[in-house]
Chains A and B, each alone.
Chain A
């Protein structure tokens, strides 16, 4: 189990991670979802002791990462598949991990087979690897110590659809055997396919978390108005009716039935452009909203 408690990381005046708290539970795959630059990688680097937190802490199975005496045997980590020595062969890179952890030599061949790298591929130098092969090799390094916890940053990056399916089955099996998996992605689809629980982060803050079914189902109503002032007026009217709203692009996501939203709009004299049940699209809307803030298209506006 990974427990993140009020984790904060400042870079000068910039806050990369802002009081992030969540738990990745044993036996489940937790997806860490957020646009590029949201603070996912920074949080993960803090978890494994590569970056110092400004405040807050992370424990893995109740202990700080640096308290583990041979971390590779307890936590499998893949932070960046391209951060592997281009001049070494895949087998050599895995052998270094095997020797560092003090594992039997046979584990190398076994683990290579487990991640689907052939003998021939393992003998090639990493500079000749595709990103997908590097991911598999990185996952091999994470798995070789037979850990109970996996921390994987964008592991599906560069994998083809068959590769993503393979990864899903692998992580599902790992979690079903009582392991804890935390994986990050900037693609909602990937997370939807693989994860049981989802933690959504944007601009260093957690904006939503819960089980996948919960987040996808509790979508409520989508409502759009003709201009921002009208949206504000509607939001205020809904708040007065004790209804929770979340701003989305050009409107609101409302935790209520469309009928109630329509009535409220009518009473407040707000002209609606769109009113419909969110059909489980709430997460996607929210995520697009988050992405729009940081994406290049958004920056031009």
Chain B
């Protein structure tokens, strides 16, 4: 085959210089995804809002709460409520930003394995979530010290390790909810609306149904995912409560998450 140049393949062998191309490590992808969560004004302030909310909520407790209520638990509840709204939104935007801003075109071209990109996003999101929880814990502890110094009472430390663990788990589940809505809708607006339906409309609907319909009352814990997650905050988890958490998250989180991931892997990126 002396006429090799007429064939399409050999030309590339001539042109290929001695250059070693190494695969992209997952840690690098995670670092990049973390960076992308902070590098816009909107992203930066969303992240900063975690700290700001913690400080504001702590200040509010010190100013308005009665003396005997100045306990670590009060602080953690005050900080935790607004935080549990912000964290899932962070998770939503980490996915939907790629579609709303159409950056996915570049992201998925540089890293054509979408599963790896999504894993990096999940890890980055959960890192942010867990760090946020520790920030909230620290700010709450400072508030507790400050509050009890003002009331001249001994500081009450009434959060156990397992309780903190449950709170972290509740927020991680909340963030995964956000992530699930992100992959399912792939649009910031739709996913955030979906999130508010999930966390505010459905619980009210289920609550109302349970209040007026006898037959639904015993059923609610097996159906209402927010109801099941909220119990994580109450530190009253029993074996049955864990089962209910498992059943409700399977239906409302894990299955839709699997469907959403499948859609992201298959869908055309435009």
Find chain A residues with CB under 8 A from B112 CB: 48-49, 65-66, 68, 71
Q: Is A100 part of the contact surface with B, judged by Cβ < 8 Å? A: yes
CB distance from A59 to the nearest CB of B (A): 9
Q: With A1-B11, A96-B32, A99-B28 known to touch, is A84 a contact of B103 (CB < 8 Å)?
A: yes
Q: Are A80 and B101 in contact (CB under 8 A)?
A: no
Q: Interface code B81-111, partner A: CB below 8 Å = 1, 0 otherwise? A: 0000000000000000100011111101111
Q: Is B162 part of the contact surface with A, judged by Cβ < 8 Å? A: no
CA distance A12 to B259 in the complex (A): 22
CB distance from A148 to the nearest CB of B (A): 6
CA distance A49 to B107 in the complex (A): 12
Q: Are B268 and A52 in contact (CB under 8 A)?
A: yes
Select which of B101, B104, B110 is within 8 A of A101 by beta carbon.
B110
CA distance A99 to B103 in the complex (A): 15
Find chain B residues with CB under 8 A from A45 CB: 268-270
Select which of A52, A61, A84 is within 8 A of B106 by beta carbon.
A84
CB distance from B10 to the nearest CB of A (A): 10
B-contacting residues, A40-88, CB 8 Å:
45, 48-52, 61-62, 65-66, 68-74, 77, 79-80, 82-88
CA distance A51 to B36 in the complex (A): 24
Find chain B residues with CB under 8 A from A68 CB: 21, 112
A-contacting residues, B200-259, CB 8 Å:
none
22 contacts between A and B (CB under 8 A): A1-B12, A1-B15, A26-B15, A27-B15, A50-B108, A50-B268, A51-B268, A52-B266, A61-B12, A62-B9, A66-B113, A70-B22, A72-B110, A82-B102, A83-B101, A85-B97, A85-B103, A88-B39, A88-B40, A100-B24, A100-B29, A102-B22
Q: A: which residues have CB within 8 A of B?
A: 1, 3, 23, 25-27, 45, 48-52, 61-62, 65-66, 68-74, 77, 79-80, 82-88, 92, 96-97, 99-102, 141, 148, 178
Which 7 pairs from chain A and chain B are nearest by CB? A87-B40, A83-B102, A69-B23, A49-B112, A83-B105, A50-B269, A85-B101
